[in-house]
Structure 1
Amino acid sequence: MRFASLGSGSRGNATIVDVGSTRLLIDCGFSIKETEKRLERLGTQPSDLNAILVTHEHGDHIRGVLPLARKYGLTVYMTAGTHRALSFSLFSGIDLKLIDSHLDFVIGDFAVTPVAVPHDAREPVQYVVRGGDNLSLGVLTDLGSITAHVIEHFEGCHGLFLECNHDAAMLANGTYPPSLKKRIAGDWGHLNNRQSLDLLQNIQTCQLQQLVLGHISEQNNSLAAVQAMMSNLPSDLFSIHYACQNDGVDWLALSRV
């Protein structure tokens, strides 16, 4: 199994994962042209994709999903709540599959587990996907707090894409209006650096090979702040990478060792 980030942040998010003959895109917050360019950088193209998994309806995650799916004939998977949050007219010509946020499903060589998360969207989920040799990748962004349900599903992953959205002090002292600060920092907003570290220190990471930290705010966080927080982790247990808005992260391999 391998995965990569096309880019991660408030201006667009997309993660690609493949195993065997199946290649999935998780979210697509970029225009068709930008998505095509970023996929080409990874040596692939939209026609190589089998489906798009949607986490929720916010623009930085869904902006390019339906246009890309319509152009390339891709199946789109999302919860009924996410579907209801969008205009039904947008789905003309789309092969749409509505999923239960508490039931696993299969796409080609992948078993997919949606995980309900606390976020200010209609019915948001994140995903754990399992492929060859039962390797697993967890994608966990856009949640405001860590629940027992989240810990149960994301510990033991071989690969993990985790948000470090903001530094709490930078957000509190920044220029955002108070209402937006409250939303971001609240239990239904986004994880700060300390919360992400706490999660990593409280889940089983003995199988973790590749950790990608992303959705890093360009206004309320910095790469240096994230790196300083993560310096509290043992440095020899797994590889740590940082997905930025412009460049994402190149392909990372997971293997049974």
Structure 2
Amino acid sequence: MSQLAAADSPPVVPLQGRLRFASLGSGSKGNATLVSDGEAWVLVDCGFGLREAERRMARLDIHPSQLDAVLVTHEHGDHLRGVGPLARRHGVPVYMTPGTWLSGRLGEVPKLHWITPQSRFAIKGLLIDPITVPHDAREPIQFRFEAAGCHLGVLTDLGHPSDHVAEAFRGCDALILECNHDPHLLQTGPSPPTLKRRVGGNWGHLANGQAATLLARLGLDRLQRIVCSHLSEHNNRPELALEALTPLLDGDASRLTIAAQDHGLQWQAVS
């Protein structure tokens, strides 16, 4: 394993077959999530520039050459910005839907693989389910991962908690869940009216209350980790996201955490 990380970086859980994940950062300035079962190493999205992505991966003791794939959810810049440069510099295979590719925003990709939504595929022993979500992109998806009987859902960038999404992500052991905005802060904030309508619409982003509604539908019995992600810099605050979800946990917030824009989230293991 790479020795690029700083001395105070968290150690990677060494158990083969053990599902774990970490965030390079989450928000409107860039999103990227690492997922591994100890054998396969994948990056979900790369919304940071190449140098910044490399720096953030080093902080988690990962070098891009270790990646088996970059999985792309959709073509918006805060998820796609660094995908092409990362793939070209380090030869990392890229997986995406044809609709995302047709956006024309990626440039040359040496190793490109198509994803068919709702069709499971595997990277080494890591099982991956790509799930269609309601979002204002050409063919957006999110992902559910399985390894050693454990399930992780990565679920951001959706405009409303549809029945299809609720069914697809039920029964996860860990969940990275979008808590993008507080409706009052969105409506009274500095964003232009068109952006407010987009973000708050059925094809935009989840509000804190919508995230709570979806979480209740997914069930809480198996959930060990719930990560609030993709928080808006101007239209949300971490405490508001936590306040929206904590009542579902009988006031016990120990299972909740935040994937921050600047610092991401250290490695989390799912047992």
One fold, TM greater than 0.5? yes
* Structure 1 residue aligned with 2:114: 98
Instruction: Give the letter aligned to residue 253 of structure 1.
Output: A
Tell me how far 1:205 sits from its aligned partner.
2.1
Give the match for residue 183 of structure 2. Answer: 168
In the TM superposition, what is the alpha-carbon distance from 1:204 to its structure 2 partner?
1.9
What SS does the aligned partner of 1:211 have? strand
Deviation at 1:86, TM superposition (A): 1.5
Partner of residue 230, structure 1? 245
Deviations 1:184-240 (A, max 9, x none): 000000000000011111212211111110100011001121122122121459611
What is residue 12 of structure 1 aligned with on the other side?
30
1:212 matches 2:227 = yes
Change (3 A) 1:236 1:87: closer
SS in 1 for 2:247: coil
Aligned amino acid, residue 88 of structure 2: R
Task: Report the AA paired with residue 15 of structure 1.
Answer: T
User: Residue 36 and residue 249 in structure 1: after superposition, are their counterparts in 2 closer, same or farther (change >3 A)?
Assistant: same
- 8 Å Cα contact 1:66/1:94 also seen in 2: no
- Using the TM superposition, give the Cα deviation of residue 20 of structure 1 relative to its aligned residue in structure 2, in angstroms: 3.0
Structure 1 residue 102, shift from structure 2 partner: 2.0
Shift of 1:174: 1.1
From the superposition, tell whether residues 60 and 238 of structure 1 become closer, same or farther in structure 2 (CA, over 3 Å). same
2:168 to 153, 157, 163: 153
Give the Cα–Cα distance (whole angstroms) in 2 for the partners of residues 170 and 152 of structure 1.
Answer: 30
What is the aligned partner in structure 1 of residue 10 from structure 2? none
Selected match of 2:135 from 82, 96, 119: 119
Which residue number in structure 1 is paired with residue 150 of structure 2? 135
| Cα gap change, 1:148 to 1:211, in 2 (>3 Å) | same
Whether contact under 8 Å (2:242, 2:256) holds in the other structure is no
Which residue of 181, 189, 199 maps to 2:196?
Answer: 181
Alpha-carbon distance between aligned partners in 2 of 1:19 and 1:119, rounded to the nearest angstrom: 29
Aligned to 1:244: 260
1:71 matched to 2:89? The reply is yes
Does structure 1 retain, via aligned residues, the 8 Å contact 2:246–2:252? Answer: no
**Residue matched to 1:201:** 216
Whether the aligned pair in 2 keeps the contact of 1:6 and 1:39 (CA below 8 Å) is yes
Identity %: 47
Q: C-alpha distance in 2, partners of 1:227/1:159?
A: 16
Does the CA-based 8 Å contact 2:35-2:41 persist in structure 1?
yes
Any gaps of 5 or more consecutive residues in structure 2? 1-18
Alpha carbons 1:7, 1:246 under 8 Å: kept: yes
2:62 maps to what in 1? 44
Q: Which ranges of 4 or more aligned residues in structure 1 deviate by more than 3 Å?
A: 235-238
Q: Report the alpha carbon displacement of residue 99 of structure 1 after superposing the two structures with TM.
A: 1.1
Task: Assess if the C-alpha contact under 8 Å between 1:11 and 1:29 holds in 2.
Answer: yes
TM normalised by structure 1 equals 0.95
Alignment correspondent of 2:236: 221
Deviates more, 1:202-211 or 1:62-71: 202-211
Structure 1 residues 78 and 169, CA, compared in 2 at 3 Å: closer, same or farther? same
Superposed CA RMSD:
1.3
In structure 1, the residue corresponding to 2:52 is in which secondary structure? helix
Aligned residue type for 1:184: V
Letter in 2 for 1:53: L
